[in-house]
Amino acid sequence: MKHPRIVIAGFLTLAATTVTALAHHGWGSYDASKPVTVEGSILTSTFENPHATIAVKAPDKIWTVTLAPTSRMIARGAQAEVVAVGKTVSAYGYPSTVEMNEMRAERITVDGKTYELR
């Protein structure tokens, strides 16, 4: 083989791309026919791409709430401090059909202000 480094680099790029694609779920795995509202205090907050996420302690369970990408959050006025640990949030969106107690938020309300995420 004349260029084994090119073949190896191509293979590694393909493998990395595949892993990234598998790690990022599509929006098709959420049930838009069953909207939910989750309210409670934020236990954890991760403000990084591909999507910001928060864990919310609702009265009955802890939900993982998938938010928008950080660039969209910032563009809509929802800086990292808006979804800081200890804040109370109301998140409206759709439950996952794959992960139990996980949802995709369409909008959140924090400190009386609503942020549209989609």
Which residues, at least 6 apart from 82, have a Cβ–Cβ distance to it below 8 Å?
Answer: 73, 110, 111, 115
- Token readout for 47 is 């403000």
Q: How confident is the model at residue 79 (pLDDT cuts 50, 70, 90)?
A: very high
Calpha distance 88→115 (Å, rounded):
14
CB 71 within 8 A of CB 118: no
Average pLDDT over residues 83-100: 97
Give all domains of the chain, ordered by start, each with its CATH number.
Answer: 30-116 (2.40.50.1010)
Determine the pLDDT at residue 57: 98
Which tens digit of pLDDT belongs to each residue from 54-78? Answer: 999 999 999 999 999 999 999 999 9
Task: Say which residue, 28 or 22, is predicted with more confidence.
Answer: 28
Mean pLDDT estimate for the chain: 86
Question: Could you tell me the end-to-end alpha-carbon distance of the chain, in angstroms, rounded to an integer?
Answer: 49
Calpha distance 22→62 (Å, rounded):
25
Determine the pLDDT at residue 28: 77
